[in-house]
């Protein structure tokens, strides 16, 4: 009967009824389920604000999605209800958060990361922050407390609703956002200004079958069912359009897991031949995968407009290409639907790269994980329902597709808990490891301890067997510059915890060692380069190196002296070499008045080394953004982004030996401390490279396509000092092996353990750095 009734009313009326149910419910925790395109993310928040007269916060997986929803509402006139017009806006993650403020708009779209910052900021006691810095600061802290009380009394009941939207993906970032609001509402943490006892939290999803509501807000399944409000259709189009499903032939040879991108490109070309007006969404497994040949395929780009959502301004360009043939390349998060209109075909992979905790190596590594049926359904939801026929192309056999599981739950539960633990300790330290925590999932104590050891400078900061939270509480907000910068970079930039630790530690060491100001700028700029090109290297080896080829050094021989930052031949890394090559290409392209991509294609030809066009073009915006966030001035940002910074590096190499040594040690020591748990010992015999993971004392593989450091040259350097190998760390470990190397000079390791030479040194370190 309910379904028949809803079929007779408009989508607007149904959403109005749903909003009214939310208003009338005596419960402060509600759950809304509705199909894709039903208006959960766009129209429902507007109706809630208009009907209640309260502010609404709509929390999205990231700030790009938040911006898309806010822009769509404003451009489509969806901000009105009756004679009321609701003010709609959004906040980007990098924006400064005003102290003691409430959202500026009636409906404010923010990311889960921004929500977390709101709650953590609300619980930060300003008088404690300034108490050890003199009377003036104590008075300033007291003034801020008075201001906070005034703002809370004036605006204490202004926020009526918080929507946690599209929570089915259950990513780490979304889980941290959930923890923040749960802690604030339940009293485990200080609630932000504007929250009050009547503030309602609404959990929304299109895929409740993925255990989306499991243990939410400490409610049982029956209690959640009582609070469940369903949208039968809302603004979603009526059913009846035909969706075709296509698979690869059963008799096809080879593994689609290994060859997905080549097959996807071929499929896109086939579609465009049969339908010249096709609008194709091609889903990629990861932003920077070397297998993403779709992003390198010029034939595809010549045939039709290709829009890469990972490229600079890719998302902003979606609305400019709402008509006509196009291929959209996207890395999905399986949360919010990608806002692409008129899609006729979706090309969907069978596996995606996901972080998984390796019990053998005691660390988080990236492995290929099979998708499940709800994720396939999410991909299918991008097809335009206004078309009579649309098609989803699965890059697997039908027989394999039929065996896939229906759901997967929270993917991060199979990975490391470092991010969850760190977020929880900063949010509510006294409850981080207690019986009552804001997280939905039990975190084993031994895993939590190991997680913290991953983040410590001198392991272990938490001793074996500790069962209290006293040590955790003392560590939460230490009065150290590196901790403050680390928190800022993680929360505002979404930076990886190890990279944030590296940059924070770098700043702290420069202060402690009283490095000259001009060298401080240089060191910090080098750090920014290493972070950006760690994540998105531009150089790819076409095959594993062999002795005497020295492919990168040969191709860029004029940069040979710059590939080492410091006076030692060991002071080098993949990321720094990538940064040097990028800046060199940039400055030469600027001098020639040429486009950077075109210049690279014409002047960087090699049988051994490929210059990847995607990260080449995306690097400048990443460098500028991160440089600004760490406090580099406009001149430094400009020098970094136009390549002229290399001149300063050349001058640095000719500087005083002592100053140069101190600066270089600061960089490499900070980097090693951030990535010390990926420490390996490398030996080379003839053409055989052997990599020993010290954390597990096992031999591991390395990804030869992503390692551009000359391993054979480093082996010769080690031999000159009477060693049979050298130490290194890697950025991460994937299915293909360790990736992105940094060679660690022995004198830095000497600060940790007395070096005895040969393999003994490596295995002695293993006992100091072991994780269990």
Domains of the chain: residue spans and CATH: 2-230 (3.40.50.300), 242-409 (3.40.50.300), 413-475 (no CATH), 481-769 (no CATH)
Distance CA 364, CA 366 (A): 7
Distance CA 135, CA 157 (A): 34
Looking at residue 292, its pLDDT comes to 63
Looking at residue 297, its pLDDT comes to 67
Q: Give the closest residue to 269 by CA, choosing from 309, 308, 298, 303.
A: 303
Q: Which residues of the chain have pLDDT under 50?
A: 1-7, 125-139, 141, 457-479, 549, 754-759, 771-772
Looking at residue 495, its pLDDT comes to 84
Looking at residue 551, its pLDDT comes to 58
Looking at residue 6, its pLDDT comes to 45
Looking at residue 296, its pLDDT comes to 67
In contact, 446 and 461? CB cutoff 8 Å: no
Looking at residue 750, its pLDDT comes to 66
pTM: 0.83
Looking at residue 464, its pLDDT comes to 38
Distance CA 231, CA 6 (A): 9
Which helix H or strand E contains 618, and what residues bound it? Answer: helix 613-629
Distance CA 434, CA 373 (A): 36
Q: Tens digit of pLDDT for each residue in 429-453?
A: 777 766 788 988 877 766 766 666 6
Q: Give the closest residue to 366 by CA, choosing from 734, 740, 703.
A: 734
Looking at residue 328, its pLDDT comes to 92
Looking at residue 209, its pLDDT comes to 95
Looking at residue 758, its pLDDT comes to 45
Contacting residues for 322 by C-beta, under 8 A, at least 6 apart: 341, 342
Q: How many residues does the chain have?
A: 772
Looking at residue 298, its pLDDT comes to 66
- Bridge-based pairing of strands 363-370 and 326-330 is unpaired
- Bridge-based pairing of strands 242-248 and 88-90 is unpaired
Q: What angle do CA 79, 38, 23 make, to 5 degrees?
A: 65
Which helix H or strand E contains 734, and what residues bound it? Answer: strand 725-734
Q: Give the closest residue to 128 by CA, choosing from 120, 138, 113.
A: 138
In contact, 425 and 120? CB cutoff 8 Å: no
Contacting residues for 604 by C-beta, under 8 A, at least 6 apart: 555, 585, 611
């Amino acid at each position: 009967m309910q379904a028949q009734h809803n079929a007779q009313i408009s989508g607007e009326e149904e959403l109005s009824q749903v909003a009214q149910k939310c208003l009338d419910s005596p419960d402060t925790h509600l759950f809304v389920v509705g199909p894709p395109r039903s208006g959960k993310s766009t129209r429902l928040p507007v109706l809630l604000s208009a009907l209640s007269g309260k502010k609404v916060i709509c929390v999205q997986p990231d700030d790009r999605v938040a911006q898309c929803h806010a822009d769509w509402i404003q451009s489509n006139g969806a901000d009105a209800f009756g004679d009321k017009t609701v003010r709609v806006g959004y906040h980007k993650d990098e924006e400064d958060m005003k102290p003691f403020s409430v959202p500026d708009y009636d409906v404010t779209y923010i990311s889960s990361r921004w929500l977390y910052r709101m709650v953590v900021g609300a619980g930060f006691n300003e008088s404690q922050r300034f108490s050890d810095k003199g009377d003036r600061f104590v008075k300033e802290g007291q003034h801020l407390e008075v201001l906070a009380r005034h703002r809370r009394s004036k605006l204490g009941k202004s926020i009526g609703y918080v929507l946690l939207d599209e929570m089915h993906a259950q990513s780490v970032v979304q889980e941290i956002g959930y923890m923040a609001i749960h802690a604030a509402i339940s009293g485990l943490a200080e609630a932000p200004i504007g929250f009050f006892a009547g503030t309602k939290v609404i959990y929304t999803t299109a895929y409740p079958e993925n255990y989306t509501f499991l243990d939410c807000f400490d409610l049982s399944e029956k209690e959640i069912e009582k609070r469940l409000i369903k949208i039968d259709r809302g603004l979603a189009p009526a059913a009846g359009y035909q969706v075709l499903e296509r698979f690869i032939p059963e008799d096809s040879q080879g593994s689609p897991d290994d060859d997905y991108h080549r097959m996807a490109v071929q499929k896109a070309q086939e579609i465009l031949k049969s339908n010249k007006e096709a609008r194709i969404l091609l889903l990629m497994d990861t932003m920077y995968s070397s297998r993403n040949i779709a992003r390198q395929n010029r034939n595809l780009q010549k045939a039709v407009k290709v829009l890469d959502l990972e490229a600079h301004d890719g998302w902003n360009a979606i609305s400019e290409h709402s008509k006509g043939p196009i291929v959209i390349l996207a890395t999905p998060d399986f949360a919010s639907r990608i806002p692409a209109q008129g899609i006729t075909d979706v090309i969907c992979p069978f596996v995606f790269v996901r972080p998984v905790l390796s019990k053998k190596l005691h660390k988080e590594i990236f492995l290929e994980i099979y998708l499940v049926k709800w994720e396939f359904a999410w991909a299918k939801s991008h097809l335009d329902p206004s078309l009579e026929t649309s098609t989803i192309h699965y890059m697997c056999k039908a027989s394999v597709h039929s065996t896939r599981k229906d759901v997967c739950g929270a993917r991060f539960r199979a990975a490391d808990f470092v991010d969850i633990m760190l977020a929880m300790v900063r949010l509510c330290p006294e409850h981080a490891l207690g019986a009552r925590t804001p997280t939905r999932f039990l975190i084993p104590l031994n895993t939590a301890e190991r997680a913290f050891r991953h983040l410590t400078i001198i392991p272990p900061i938490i001793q074996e067997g500790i069962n209290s939270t006293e040590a955790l509480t003392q560590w939460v907000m230490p009065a150290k510059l590196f901790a403050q910068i680390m928190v800022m970079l993680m929360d505002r930039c979404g930076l990886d915890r190890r990279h944030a630790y590296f940059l924070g530690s770098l700043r702290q060491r420069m202060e402690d060692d009283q490095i000259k100001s001009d060298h401080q700028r240089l060191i910090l700029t080098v750090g920014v380069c290493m972070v950006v090109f760690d994540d998105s290297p531009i150089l790819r080896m076409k095959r594993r190196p062999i002795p005497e080829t020295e492919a990168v050094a040969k191709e860029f021989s004029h940069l040979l002296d710059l590939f080492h930052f410091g006076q030692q031949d060991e002071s080098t890394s993949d990321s720094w070499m990538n940064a040097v090559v990028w800046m060199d290409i940039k400055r030469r392209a600027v001098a020639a008045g040429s486009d950077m991509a075109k210049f690279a294609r014409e002047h960087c030809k090699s049988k051994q080394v490929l210059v990847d066009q995607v990260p080449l073009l995306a690097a400048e915006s990443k460098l500028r953004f991160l440089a600004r966030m760490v406090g580099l001035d406009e001149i430094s940002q400009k020098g970094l982004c136009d390549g002229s910074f290399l001149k300063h590096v050349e001058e640095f190499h000719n500087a005083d030996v002592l100053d140069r040594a101190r600066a270089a040690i600061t960089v490499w020591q900070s980097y090693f401390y951030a990535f010390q748990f990926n420490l390996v010992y490398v030996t080379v015999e003839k053409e055989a490279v052997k990599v020993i993971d010290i954390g597990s004392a096992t031999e591991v593989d390395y990804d030869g396509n992503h390692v551009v450091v000359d391993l054979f040259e480093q082996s010769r350097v080690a031999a000159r000092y009477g060693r049979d190998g050298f130490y290194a760390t890697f950025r991460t470990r994937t299915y293909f092996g360790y990736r992105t190397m940094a060679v660690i000079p022995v004198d830095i390791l000497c600060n940790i353990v007395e070096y005895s030479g040969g393999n003994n040194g490596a295995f002695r370190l293993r006992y100091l750095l072991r994780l269990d």
